Chain A
Amino acid sequence: MAAKGLYSQHHHNPRMRVVRNLVLALILLSFAGVVLFPLVYMVSWSFGPNVKMSSSLYTVFPRKWTLDSYKAFFDFSPYSLRWLLNTFIMAAGTTVSNVIFASMAGYAFAKVRFPGNKFLFFLILVAMMIPYQVTQVPLYILLVNKFNMSNTYAALILPGCVTSYNIFLSKQFFSGIPTALIENAKVEGANQFRIFWSIILPMSKTVLAVMAINTFVGNWNTFFWPFLATTQDSMYTIQVALKTFKDASWTLLSPMMAGATISALPMFILFFTLQKYFLEGVTVGAVKG
């Protein structure tokens, strides 16, 4: 029990410990209530009426619960479902290519000796420090103005298909694998691809899962690049669509909250089914960062 010694265990009076933990739990739960309130507010008002917000609606939660606002969001555009599909394609595409190519690069930087290894990895580290504002303008000029690729899935997926962060993340993990393991396999005649495929990858499920989840959620939620790369509403991602929906129907609280709930729901489902990897993903990048 590391670090438990910070708190007195109250060995002489166990009841004290129970009371203290109850008080702490109560404070933690009430603050969590404050932190989570906006989301509770969002979900509950998504079931509110599809009417303009007016003084007659002066309540914290809606009085009558209906599905009208969900209908209103899907009626807003013929592409409503397409937006979710577009977002899924973008997120899934970047996730698959990151898991494959970033982990391959991470492995090479960690365990394969070749000239330029250190230098190239250093470049990647430096690139991680550069604010995205620097690269967005040239990226926009390149893909949208020069290559005319706006409103394509390629434009949505390509810029993020191997990120420096994911290369860094997997390199950190692979560095921890004993080199002897790889040397032994080499002596037995396995080449690097075989070693990577049948020895390294099976050991790395957790870090690959963390990478996949981080990438998927990050891309599902991202706004900036899809906003620049799409101009037709058939190619919007859900985040971009939400923004236009907001601009078009401000004053309609419930349909807006319905749209927000629809866009956030897949991520909540993902979070509750894969909690362990989400929580692990937070520390994996930070410890020894």
Chain B
Amino acid sequence: MEQQRTIRKRGKLRIREDHISGYLFIAVAMVVFLLFTIYPLISAVITSFQNYKPFGSTWVKLDNYETALSNKLFWKACRNTVIYTALTVPLSLVIAFIVALMILPFRRGTQSFFKSLYYIPAVASAVVTSMVWLWIYDSSDAGLFNQLLTFFHLPTQQWLTSSKTAMLSLVLMALLGGNGSSIIIYIAALMGIDNTYFEAAEVDGATFWQKVRYIVLPLCKPTTLFLFITGIINSFQVFINAYMMTGGGPDNNTTMIGLLIFNNAFKYGKYGLACAQAILLTILIAAMTAIQFKVAGSDVEY
């Protein structure tokens, strides 16, 4: 009896000890989280209803949102972001999937070699890649792509400075540069498929393409959805390529939402408007993500 009671007592003590150590473990992380995530988030919402001034901001109700939504440039930036996303995200998934399929039949060592090879561009910073591509796209005859066109006796292009090709140039750069991690993730998913599926298909005399269509694609659906959603979220926030390479031009044809928010905040000092636009962007991303989960169906678990 006596012993049991002390055990129970000790158990309770243990739990309280756990509470204290739990809070101690998360203390630093929570202070940082409060200061640099929660506070800025709340502050952004407040600022979006204000005309920000260092001393004495004034409340302007929904003015910033009205300004944002009635601004032609905002809608153009939205359109550009959607075009950029629609061209880069699905296509780079297709490229990553095909490359992963091609790497699959090799031995583990060879697989790692190819994975590393395709991952290397991801190690270079966006500033570095932008600088190199600026020269590849250089509008003069000395630009690499123009040298290539001249070699094939084709007319040279203005690449980044013509409204016809500027957006496509950014898309091409994204397609060739950013597939490393998707390839690796796809290979992991492919390696996880149980071999019995293929054996059964073989018995039924299925061809390679039938196996891909009816076994691989459905089983990779969660991976595809994951890559698709994260791809879209990242693509909607894209900033540095347009900032470094085109400055949004020509004629704002490559101004995307990320760049527009940056310009409003740090070029024109319109903090309130920038915050309102950033919050609109958040709502847009959240809505898109929710729609994708709905469309993809309930068979995907996270």
B279 within 8 A of A: yes
Contact of B30 among A8, A120, A268 (CB under 8 A): A120
Contacts of A38 in B (CB 8 A): 121, 129, 132-133, 136, 176-177
Looking at A60, A159, A223, the one whose CB has the most chain B CB atoms below 10 A away is A223
Query: B181-214, CB under 8 A of A: which get 1 and which 0?
Result: 1001100101111110111011000001001100
**Given A21-B106, A35-B176, A242-B131: A5 and B199 interface contact (C-beta under 8 Å):** yes
Q: Are A267 and B124 in contact (CB under 8 A)?
A: yes
Q: Are B44 and A263 in contact (CB under 8 A)?
A: no
**Given A38-B132, A41-B132, A131-B285: A58 and B23 interface contact (C-beta under 8 Å):** no
Q: Which residue of B lies closest to A5 (CB)?
A: B198
**Given A134-B41, A260-B132: A105 and B106 interface contact (C-beta under 8 Å):** no
Query: B35-72, CB under 8 A of A: which get 1 and which 0?
Result: 11111110110010000101000000000000000000
Looking at A53, A115, A138, A186, the one whose CB has the most chain B CB atoms below 10 A away is A138
Contact of B274 among A34, A137, A217, A268 (CB under 8 A): A137
Query: B113-153, CB under 8 A of A: which get 1 and which 0?
Result: 01111111101111111011111101011101001000000
Contact of A134 among B23, B40, B244 (CB under 8 A): B40
Q: Are B44 and A28 in contact (CB under 8 A)?
A: no
Contact of B120 among A36, A135, A142 (CB under 8 A): A36
Q: Are A6 and B44 in contact (CB under 8 A)?
A: no
Interface residues on B, range: 35 or more
Instruction: Find residues 94-138 in chain A having any chain B CB closer than 8 Å to their own CB.
Output: 101-102, 104-105, 107-109, 112-115, 117, 120, 123-124, 127, 129-138
Instruction: Find residues 66-117 in chain B having any chain A CB closer than 8 Å to their own CB.
Output: 99, 101-106, 110, 112, 114-117
Looking at B28, B103, B105, B223, the one whose CB has the most chain A CB atoms below 10 A away is B105
Contacts of A140 in B (CB 8 A): 265-266
CA distance A283 to B278 in the complex (A): 30
Interface size, chain A (Cβ < 8 Å): 102
Contacts of B40 in A (CB 8 A): 134-139, 142
B22 within 8 A of A: yes
Instruction: Find residues 272-294 in chain B having any chain A CB closer than 8 Å to their own CB.
Output: 274-275, 277-279, 281-282, 285-286, 289
CA distance A59 to B176 in the complex (A): 22
Looking at B104, B144, B197, B278, the one whose CB has the most chain A CB atoms below 10 A away is B278
CB distance from B130 to the nearest CB of A (A): 9
**Given A138-B39, A167-B29: A117 and B121 interface contact (C-beta under 8 Å):** no
**Given A54-B142, A142-B43: A137 and B265 interface contact (C-beta under 8 Å):** yes
Q: Are B128 and A264 in contact (CB under 8 A)?
A: yes
A55 within 8 A of B: yes
Decide if the interface of chain A is mainly helix, strand, loop or mixed: helix
CA distance A276 to B76 in the complex (A): 43
Q: Which residue of A lies closest to B195 (CB)?
A: A5
Contacts of B120 in A (CB 8 A): 36, 39, 268, 271
Query: B245-275, CB under 8 A of A: which get 1 and which 0?
Result: 0000000000001100110011000010011
Q: Which residue of A lies closest to B226 (CB)?
A: A289
Instruction: Find residues 7-50 in chain A having any chain B CB closer than 8 Å to their own CB.
Output: 7-8, 20-21, 24-25, 27-28, 31-32, 34-36, 38-39, 41-42, 45
Q: Are B43 and A138 in contact (CB under 8 A)?
A: yes
**Given A113-B15, A223-B240, A283-B188: A24 and B105 interface contact (C-beta under 8 Å):** yes
Binding site for B on A (CB under 8 A): 1-8, 20-21, 24-25, 27-28, 31-32, 34-36, 38-39, 41-42, 45, 53-55, 57-58, 60, 101-102, 104-105, 107-109, 112-115, 117, 120, 123-124, 127, 129-142, 145, 158-159, 161-162, 164, 167, 186, 191-193, 196, 217, 220-224, 228, 239, 242-243, 246, 253, 256-257, 259-260, 263-264, 267-268, 270-271, 275, 278-279, 282-283, 286-287, 289
Could you list 27 A-B pairs, sorted by A, with CB under 8 Å?
A3-B104, A5-B202, A21-B105, A25-B110, A108-B22, A112-B25, A113-B18, A120-B30, A133-B239, A133-B257, A133-B278, A134-B275, A135-B44, A137-B278, A138-B41, A139-B36, A140-B265, A141-B47, A158-B35, A193-B24, A217-B123, A221-B126, A275-B112, A278-B123, A279-B184, A289-B226, A289-B302
Binding site for A on B (CB under 8 A): 14-15, 17-19, 21-26, 28-30, 32-33, 35-41, 43-44, 47, 52, 54, 99, 101-106, 110, 112, 114-121, 123-129, 131-136, 138, 140-142, 144, 147, 176-177, 179-181, 184-185, 188, 190-195, 197-199, 201-202, 208, 211-212, 215-216, 223, 226-227, 233, 236-237, 239-240, 244, 257-258, 261-262, 265-266, 271, 274-275, 277-279, 281-282, 285-286, 289, 302
